Amino acid sequence: MGKILDGKAFANELGQNLKEKVKNLKEKGITPHFCVINIGDDPASKIYVRTKKRRAKKMGIIQDIYQMPADTEQAEALALIDKLNADPTINGVMVQLPAPKQIDADELLERIDPNKDVDGLTPANIGRLWMEDHFIEPATAEGIIALLKHYQIKLDGKNVVVVGRSNIVGKPLAALMLEQNATVTICHLHTQNLGEITKKADIVVSATGQAFLITADMVKDGAVVVDVGMNHVNGKLVGDVDFDNVKEKASYITPVPGGVGPLTVQFLMEAVVKLTRRQNGRE
């Protein structure tokens, strides 16, 4: 049976260290301060924003939430980003996704100052990621890399299959794993014979939002399985992986909840502090 990769415990450990960093900054008159722009009434987004706020408070970080109505126009959202970009007291800016249909989210992300880009999703920072010249990384991807290192799971020379090609998880994770000398295959909705590909992987990461997509027959004995999925089935939160059966074959596996999720929130906080330090000449 696979050993559990406990993201929650690791996030709490990191949190203690980050609290100290924030405390040291505050002693020098610097308080990390970031803003989240949430447009519309998506219930999951509102929960996530509140979760971030609680975590920020725990770390000693100031988080402002700009809750904009669902009928917000593009120009209004862009004007808010411009205002926050220009404010020297704000160290980070992020747009909560998804956004309503009338909003061009890509344009909003592009408008964020790359030096205040908490999510690491501006075109400039995505480009730097693929060039291995980055100072900020998307939180979920960075959290997964950190979790594997924490459990001393080496990526060098390993065959990794990432199922999911989003700009938020799949693509940046592939870039970071390539940086660690892994051989990476990215699969997605149009991939044929998915199970034949995942079965050859030393490490399988699933980030599709499809409950129980990865089954035991799709994973080789001793594989490391990382589940990024968050799906609600019969009122219960489950991942992309058929956990109960896959854990019998895997050497390591993340649970849902308690695996990658807590790390995403923690690494957003890490990003805010990283940007704050950088803006104050303390890299």
pLDDT in tens, 193-221: 999 999 999 999 999 999 999 999 999 99
Is 125's pLDDT higher than 90? Answer: yes
Say which residues have a Cβ less than 8 Å from residue 169's Cβ, sequence separation at least 6: 138, 140, 141, 207, 228
pLDDT band at 230 (very low <50, low <70, confident <90, very high): very high
pLDDT value at residue 2? 85
Residue 180 phi, psi (nearest 5)? -90, 15
Active-site residue 63, yes or no?
Answer: no
> How many other C-beta atoms lie within 10 A of the C-beta of residue 226?
27
The per-residue pLDDT for range 246-256, each reduced to its tens digit, is 999 999 999 99
Is 83's pLDDT higher than 90? Answer: yes
Mean pLDDT across the chain? 96
Q: Where are the domains of the chain?
A: 29-112, 139-262
Active-site residue 58, yes or no?
Answer: no
Range list of β-strands (E), the chain: 3-4, 33-39, 62-68, 92-95, 159-163, 183-187, 203-206, 224-227, 231-233, 236-238, 252-253
Check whether the bond before 172 is cis (ω within 30° of 0): no
Is 282's pLDDT higher than 90? Answer: no
Query: Can 29-112 and 139-262 be said to share one CATH topology?
Result: yes
Amino acid of residue 104: D
pLDDT band at 48 (very low <50, low <70, confident <90, very high): confident
DSSP state, residue 224: E
CATH T-level topology, domain 29-112:
Rossmann fold (3.40.50)
Q: Is 111 annotated as a binding residue?
A: no
Name the active-site residue from 63, 116, 117, 119: 119
pTM for the model stands at: 0.96
Secondary structure (DSSP) of 113-163: -GGGBTTS-SHHHHHHHHTT--S---HHHHHHHHHHHHTT---TT-EEEEE
Active-site residue 199, yes or no?
Answer: no
Strands 203-206 and 33-39, by their bridges, are: unpaired
pLDDT band at 223 (very low <50, low <70, confident <90, very high): very high
Check whether the bond before 257 is cis (ω within 30° of 0): yes
Over residues 44-52, the mean pLDDT reads 88
Residue 105 phi, psi (nearest 5)? -65, -35
Q: What is residue 79's three-state secondary structure?
A: helix
Is 283's pLDDT higher than 80? Answer: no
Architecture of domain 139-262: 3-Layer(aba) Sandwich (3.40)
Percent of the chain whose pLDDT exceeds 70: 100
Q: Is 166 annotated as a binding residue?
A: yes
Name the active-site residue from 6, 21, 63, 96: 96
162/206 Cα distance (integer angstroms): 6
